[in-house]
Amino acid sequence: MVLNSIEIVYFLLSIGIILFVGRGVGELLRKFKQPIIIGEILAGIILGPTIFGSIFKDLYDLLFNYSPTINFAFNGITELSLVLLLLVLGLEIDLSLALTQGKRASLVSILGVVFPFSIGFIVAYFFPLEMGIKDYAMRLPFSLFVGTALSITALPVAAKALMDLNIFKTEIGMLIITSAMFNDLIGWIVFSIIIGMLGYSTHSLELHWLLITLAVFVGVILLIGRKIINYVIPKLEKHASYPGGILNFIFVLGLFCAAFTEFIGVHAIFGAFIIGIAIGDSVHLKEDTREIVQQFVTNIFAPIFFVSIGLRVNFIENFNFLLVAAFLLMSVTGKMLGSLLGAKLGGIGRENSIIIGLGLNAHGAMEIILGTIALQNNLIQPKVFVALVIMALFTSITSAQLMNFFLKRSKQLLNFIGLLKPENIFFTNASSKQEVIKELCLSISNQYKLNSEKLISEVMAREELISTGLEKHLAIPHAKMNIQNPIVALGVHKNGIDFDSLDGLPAKIIVLLITPLNDPELQLRLLAEISTTLGDAERIGKLVELTDASEFITTLKQFS
Amino acid sequence: MVLNSIEIVYFLLSIGIILFVGRGVGELLRKFKQPIIIGEILAGIILGPTIFGSIFKDLYDLLFNYSPTINFAFNGITELSLVLLLLVLGLEIDLSLALTQGKRASLVSILGVVFPFSIGFIVAYFFPLEMGIKDYAMRLPFSLFVGTALSITALPVAAKALMDLNIFKTEIGMLIITSAMFNDLIGWIVFSIIIGMLGYSTHSLELHWLLITLAVFVGVILLIGRKIINYVIPKLEKHASYPGGILNFIFVLGLFCAAFTEFIGVHAIFGAFIIGIAIGDSVHLKEDTREIVQQFVTNIFAPIFFVSIGLRVNFIENFNFLLVAAFLLMSVTGKMLGSLLGAKLGGIGRENSIIIGLGLNAHGAMEIILGTIALQNNLIQPKVFVALVIMALFTSITSAQLMNFFLKRSKQLLNFIGLLKPENIFFTNASSKQEVIKELCLSISNQYKLNSEKLISEVMAREELISTGLEKHLAIPHAKMNIQNPIVALGVHKNGIDFDSLDGLPAKIIVLLITPLNDPELQLRLLAEISTTLGDAERIGKLVELTDASEFITTLKQFS
């Protein structure tokens, strides 16, 4: 059962060509600030039956279609690549973060799933033929699939766009990321059910048993497994060879869980994804282990899968403009409506909601992976697959640009007013500079779980260097701490306290600004913004008369 | 052409089990200070038809023999693993080092190859049936194969053993490593010719054309390709994404070269090995890139291949004691004779030659890889394969122990007398401590390309701290420098120079000791050894009378 010599030649050659062309186009797109994965998918379309395969058919068949044996070998590699890719995508999900983001994130993400899902489901259910169903009897799973495909967000694409726009660390950024994680999770669970309904596995359980098994699996892995893994990793790092032992541990767990979910009738990648989340959540997993796994999988295995997508179908023959337009329209509408409503209920401004909607509308790897499996299982026609891939490419490419456009309008680049929350405004009667600083620091420390002694000493050290009391009744004591997002607290002192100001006037508004250690630029920008917004005697005069925090913020917003 | 669901389950499961059991047994053996690869091979024997497969035949067939389709997929993975493994083994070879080691290394390695090769070839040629030939018509390639299998050294095993014994950095250590590299290279070239003779590739060229093509390939890659790669790597690191771009570059080159050598009728792994050498030689290849490739391949791909070895044959059924004994005997005899003669011609002592022979006698990965290919190509019977694997395991496990035994006898643990070369003994008339130190430092700097100013200032700084003039006419000025191996130079001053000694006596023998920066223990040990050997007025009295460096060393040896 071994490949013969000439098969080995074509097998190695085809993988080499895939990696080479994938990387080449990927790097080219990177110059245009696009994610490499988009280049890899384009490379597949170029190499596949769409372009190269249609012009040089014989050469294409020789390279990628030489014998069934090679195809099986190649299929084994892509299957493994896919499992490892999902394992890595799981590793990237920060479960703890998602769990602490609470109400807002869950609202946004649930609505951000429900809306596009419902639109997709309803349209596909009532117009299955127009939407490209393969077998009319599969109407229900088909409609579920269309809904799911529309509601999934590309976490890596969204994260990349947020980082490029420098808003990854803002509240909106975290909200988008957390929502995207929830989306992924919900999407996968629904998709698993679809696959179960197809009875695509020969061993597959009845649907209700499948659901129960799945719930138990997810529960056990994420609740108990996660803790066991966190306990085992340091032991392995200590007693087994490093990083070999831990690398093997990650892969073995991934493969076993993948085999398990495939066995119960859900796709293998679901198991890999869930165990990836559980492993990635461990605080003991060292950064360099993560790095080795992540770099190797995203640079060697992932391209093999993404390029192979384009090898599956002819993207020109199966291109259907109406279908692509319909998918895009449904996706954008659904995501926008969902995010707007979710954000509204969660108390987020309208323009920010649009940004969230756009961020969540980036489709990508996940959706394409679902599409591939749906195509393989004869759930959808090739034209639907093509439409999904194009939608994924289009939304991924445009999301950063669109978000940037609205960001500029809403000026929500981590600004002072955005950071100031009503609960961080204090009306104080402190008798000295030291006292007011202490008050503000203590209340902040409590709320954000900071070391209050350290914070106070950092702020005071800065004060001793040179007073932060500015002119016109304003003071901005500040410090850098080991935090992710900047924190602002504001003290209002009706009569003013001596703050050693330049103009000798007492400080009536004291803004405590704490920024992350590694971001000196951010500190400078926020300091400048605060002094521009508040460095005006008339404004300060108005603000100190107020007695309500919300009113304070509303008034402040009118100034900027 | 895709695997069905249940095939995917068994495919993922079997790879998971292979990695799990391989790692488990590997880690167990690591506790006994054995290389992990030995554990992986044992894991395969345990999992395969020898033990698990013979007791639980049904379960074994289900897991590892479910369908031809999975077998093809699995074969694709092991083929890829093997290519990547050889790529990494190639990366580890330091061509520049090998080229600078010069005459001694080439003598030792050529003789260390010629002797075992000749013994193996002659025995196999005249007793082909006894030696387990598969097809009598294949007598010539079979004999060549046996010769090659006996003459190859396991570079990683040898390196590991040398490091465990703490003699990796000694002259003997470097000699063993360099010879092992040459052995590998020569062995592979001969093996490639054998494969060419078998006409095993459907495309294979005639033998003389094959040899010419091969020579051109190796020449082009190692002479021109190596330089191009060294030029391209920094460009890639600068302009492409890092480390993704460079990782892809390494793999793409590896796959293309592998496909090329497979195409001309040599095995794929030869191309991967040669390009690995060329890439690994680049000074621009960053350590963390190397680390990612090396860790991933040795921990994920390599185990798949090594465990799969045991899955191929039943090691109990095919165990033939006489054959194993014959192989072992031929290998040990050949290596010993070759090394002894080579070392003799290169001017190395007898006990050191035995150590070199033992070091070169460690068979391992390479030999097993050759055996696997020979078995697949019906060149050898399974019993020969089993004998080869057992020989590889046995010599790998014992080599460190045996070397240690002889090392203790010859006390060649980086000792003073071993380090002192005739050309580093100087008969001096210097008039002061400063002058003699300067003299010794300058001559050493010249010879070992050290920064002489730095060396002198380091040694003098140490002198200023407290004089290194000991009692009884001995002084040991010393310093640590950024070097690999310790260096010793010795000045003989018949009348003695004032060295601020404790007993006020002038120093007649001045030993300059320079040790590597990161090895304080080594410095202490050598200082102690020098003072024990030379801290004796009578001995010094005898030594200062000598006027010839070789005679000096001979006399010195009598003292220790």
Q: For residue B144, is pLDDT > 80? A: yes
pLDDT at position B249: 94
Interstrand relation of A507-516 and B478-481 (parallel, antiparallel or unpaired): unpaired
pLDDT at B410 over 60: no
Confidence band, pLDDT 50/70/90 cuts, at residue B411: very low
Lowest mean pLDDT across A439-453, A507-521, B337-351, B462-476:
B337-351
CATH number where A378 lies: 1.20.1530.20
**Whether pLDDT at A205 is above 70:** no
Distance from CA of A431 to the nearest CA of B (A): 56
pLDDT given for residue B412 in this prediction: 46
For A268, the closest of B8, B240, B293 (CB atoms) is: B8
If one counts every other C-beta atom within 10 angstroms of the C-beta of residue B21, the result is 22
Neighbours of A541 (CB within 10 A): 12
Q: What is the pLDDT of residue B164?
A: 64
CA–CA distance, B184 with A547 (Å, rounded to integer): 83
The answer to whether position A401 is within a domain reads yes
Which residue, B264, B243, B309, B263, is CA-closest to B85?
A: B309
Structure tokens at B185: 């290279």
A 22-61 residues inside an 8 A Cβ radius of B: 22-23, 27, 30, 36
Shared domain for B454 and B504, answered yes or no, is yes
| Residue A163 pLDDT | 66
Give pLDDT, residue A156: 65
| A10-41 burial code (b ≥16 CB/10 A, e <16) | bbbbbbbbbbbbbbbbbbebbeeebbbbbbbb
Residue in A with minimal Cα distance to B272: A12
Question: Does residue B303 surpass a pLDDT of 50?
Answer: yes
Is residue B551, in this structure, part of any structural domain at all? yes
Decide if B555 is inside a domain.
yes
> What is the rounded average pLDDT of the residues B252-280?
89
Chain-chain contact of B244 with A298 (C-beta, under 8 angstroms)? yes
**Whether B479 and B458 share a structural domain:** yes
Test B202 with A5 for CB contact under 8 angstroms.
yes
Q: Write out residues 326-385 of A within 8 Å (CB-CB) of B.
A: 376
Query: Average pLDDT in the A527-555 region?
Result: 81
A487 vs B198, which has greater pLDDT? A487
**Is residue A175 one of the residues assigned to a domain?**
yes
The verdict on B444 and B553 lying in the same domain is: yes
> Are residues B457 and B485 both part of a single domain?
yes
What value does the mean pLDDT take over residues A283-297? 85
Average of per-residue pLDDT across B187-203: 70
Is residue A352 over pLDDT 80?
Answer: no
Residue A112: inside a domain, yes or no?
Answer: yes
HSE (CB half, 13 Å, CA atoms) of B539? 19
With both helix axes pointing from N to C terminus, report the angle between B244-264 and B268-280 in degrees, rounded to the nearest 10.
140
In angstroms, the CA B295 to CA B463 distance is 45
The mean pLDDT value of chain A amounts to 82
Question: For residue A51, what are its two tokens?
Answer: 């372009």
A88 has a chain B CB within 8 A of its CB: no
CB-CB neighbors (< 8 A) of A36 in chain B:
241, 244
Backbone phi, psi, residue B332, to 5°: -65, -45
Percent of chain A residues past pLDDT 90, beyond the cut: 18
Q: Is residue A9 part of a domain?
A: no
Give the percent of chain B with pLDDT over 70.
91
Return d(Cα A39, Cα A361) in angstroms, integer: 20
Chain B residue whose CA is closest to A68: B1
Please tell me the distance from the alpha carbon of residue B302 to that of residue B305, in angstroms, as a whole number.
5
Model confidence at A442: pLDDT above 70: yes
Shared domain for B365 and B325, answered yes or no, is yes
Q: How far apart are alpha carbons A39 and A307 in whole angstroms?
A: 9
> Are B505 and B371 in the same domain?
no
Q: Give percent of chain B with pLDDT exceeding 90.
A: 18
Q: Does residue B280 form part of some domain?
A: no
Q: Which residue has the tokens 């109407």?
A: A139
How far apart are the C-alpha atoms of B221 and A352, rounded to whole Å?
57
- Per DSSP, helices labelled H in A32-94 are 36-47, 52-55, 57-64, 68-92
Distances (CA, A) of A322 to A312, A368, A539: 22, 19, 55
Q: How far is A61 from chain B (nearest CA, A)?
A: 14
Q: For all residues of chain B together, what is the average pLDDT?
A: 82
Give me the interface pTM, i.e. the ipTM. Answer: 0.72
Would you say residue A547 has pLDDT above 90? no
A531 versus A23: the higher-pLDDT residue is: A23
Chain B partners within 8 Å of A5 (Cβ): 200-203, 262, 265
CA distance A514 to A482: 10
Residues A480 and A354 in one domain: no
B127 CA: distance to closest CA in chain A (Å)? 30
How distant, in Å, are the alpha carbons of B165, B451, B488 from that of B516? 17, 14, 12
Kind and range of the H or E run holding B136: none
Assign B483 to helix, strand or coil.
coil
Quick one: pLDDT band at residue A410, thresholds 50, 70, 90? low
- Calculated CA dihedral for residues A241, A244, A249, A254, nearest 10 degrees: 180
- Count CB-CB contacts under 10 A for residue B317: 13
- Domain range for A510: 417-559
Report pLDDT digits (tens) over A373-407.
Answer: 888 888 888 999 999 888 888 888 887 778 777 76
Residue B322 CB: number of other CB atoms within 10 A?
A: 10
A32 domain residue, yes or no: no
Amino acid identity of A390?
I
Rounded CA-CA distance A177/B331 in Å is 62
Q: Which of A53-67, A531-545, B70-84 has the lowest mean pLDDT?
A: A531-545
Does the pLDDT of residue A169 top 60, yes or no?
A: no
Res A259: pLDDT: 94
Strand A474-475 with A507-516, pairing = parallel
Chosen for mutation from B8, B71, B236 (greatest number of chain A CBs closer than 10 Å) is B8
Burial class for B76, CB neighbours closer than 10 Å (0-12, 13-18, 19+): buried
Interface test with B, best of A7, A9, A62, A205 (most B CBs within 10 A): A9
Number of other residues whose CB lies within 10 A of the CB of residue B239 = 12
Cβ separation A300–B251 shorter than 8 A: yes
* Omega of the bond leading into A243 within 30 degrees of 0 (cis): yes
* Bridging pattern class, strands B507-516 and B474-475: parallel
Nearest-angstrom CA–CA distance, A4 and B145? 21
Into how many domains does chain B fold? 2
Of A413, A440, A467, the residue at which a domain comes to its end is A413
Residues B196 and B104 in one domain: yes
User: What does DSSP assign to residue A111?
Assistant: H
Q: What pLDDT score was predicted for residue A411? A: 46
Nearest to B76 among A3, A243, A258 (CB): A3
Q: What is the DSSP string of B241-300?
A: -TTHHHHHHHHHHHHHHHHHHHHHTS-HHHHHHHHHHHHHT-TTS-HHHHHHHHHHIIII
Q: Specify the pLDDT at position B221.
A: 94
Least confident segment among A67-76, A106-115, A404-413, B398-407: A404-413
* pLDDT higher than 50, residue A412: no
Which DSSP state fits B185?
A: H
**Using alpha carbons only, what angle is made at residue A501 by residues A499 and A507, rounded to the nearest 5 degrees?**
50
Structure confidence by residue, pLDDT tens digits, B305-334? 889 988 888 999 999 999 999 988 888 888
CB half-sphere exposure, B355, CA atoms < 13 A:
30
Instruction: Verify that B554 and B453 share a domain, yes or no.
Output: yes
Task: Give the count of alpha carbons within 13 A of A138, CB side only.
Answer: 24
* Whether residue B433 sits in one domain with residue B392: no
d(CA A187, CA A183) in angstroms, rounded, equals 6
pLDDT of B409 reads 60
Backbone torsions φ then ψ of A396, nearest 5 degrees: -65, -45
Among B251, B268, B299, select the one facing A244 at the smallest CB separation: B299
Q: Among A369, A390, A413, identify where a domain stops.
A: A413
Both B421 and B407 in one domain: the answer is: no
A490 SS3 class? strand
At residue B279, the pLDDT reads 93
Contact yes or no for B427/B369 (Cβ under 8 A): no
CB atoms < 10 A from the CB of B283, how many?
Answer: 8
From CA B392, how far away is CA B358, in angstroms rounded?
13
β-pairing, B478-481 vs B507-516, is: parallel
- By 3-state DSSP, what share of chain A in percent is helix, strand and coil, each rounded to 5? 70, 5, 20
Contact B440, B489 (CB under 8 A): yes
Q: Which two tokens stand for residue A346?
A: 């969660």
Domain final position from B361, B388, B413: B413
Q: Which of A433, A416, A353 is nearest to A179 (CA)?
A: A353
Reported as a pLDDT band with limits 50, 70 and 90, residue B521 is low
Considering only A528-542, B169-183, B305-319, B499-513, which range has the smallest mean pLDDT? Answer: B169-183
Higher-pLDDT residue of B519 and B225 is B225
SS3 category, B490:
strand
Q: Provide the percentage of residues in chain A whose pLDDT is more than 70.
A: 91
Q: Which amino acid is at B90?
A: G
Judge if B402 and B431 occupy the same domain: no
CATH (domain of A441): 3.40.930.10
* Average of per-residue pLDDT across A481-490: 81
Q: Between β-strands A507-516 and B507-516, what pairing exists: parallel, antiparallel or unpaired?
A: unpaired
Query: Tell me, what's the pLDDT at B405?
Result: 76
